[in-house]
Amino acid sequence: MMNNKTIEIVTNTAAETIELGRKMGVSMRGGEVVALTGQLGTGKTHLIKGIAAGLGVDESDAVSSPTFVLVNEYFGRDGLIHIYHIDAYRMESVAEFQSLGFDEYCRPDSVVLVEWADKVMTAVEGFDPIVVQLEHISENQRRIAIQNASNYRSLMRPPKV
């Protein structure tokens, strides 16, 4: 069940957004569903690249938004963790999203990352997601709010200015 713990962080560069994701990924154990929301260009894919790196995905540069294939699968921690990166941007309905097998991806040995989760939140919310909202502050700065984030409090430190 979602808690009301929300952490807000401002990142000043794409590298800081990736590093924030890396810290999140390092602390994940499997079974997490991460619902990312935010306009185009707010850093959702950068954050996911960092999460994948923190989970031990080799060649995290290969992590990209699956806008046209809908789901990318990566393996972390020597194959012990499956990472499913789903892009709901082109989804026409929650039923279409569920037909991808979303609930089958949500297992103790996987981390499921959903971009554009606001389009399919009714399907995602039953899995106690970590909800990450990204927004533009300026050309390079992003405000990142992480809800249901009690596991991350000690890891999150504001970037040095």
pLDDT tens, 93-148? 999 999 888 999 999 999 999 999 999 999 999 999 999 999 999 988 999 999 98
Rounded mean pLDDT of the chain? 86
pLDDT level of residue 66 (50, 70, 90 thresholds): low
Structure tokens at 106: 């949500």
Domains of the chain (ranges, CATH numbers): 8-147 (3.40.50.300)
What pLDDT is recorded for position 18? 93
Cα separation, 121 vs 23, whole angstroms: 24
Q: What is the pTM of this model?
A: 0.86
Among candidate residues 104, 148, 110, 132, the one with its CA nearest the CA of residue 35 = 132
pLDDT level of residue 59 (50, 70, 90 thresholds): low
More confident position, 153 or 110: 110
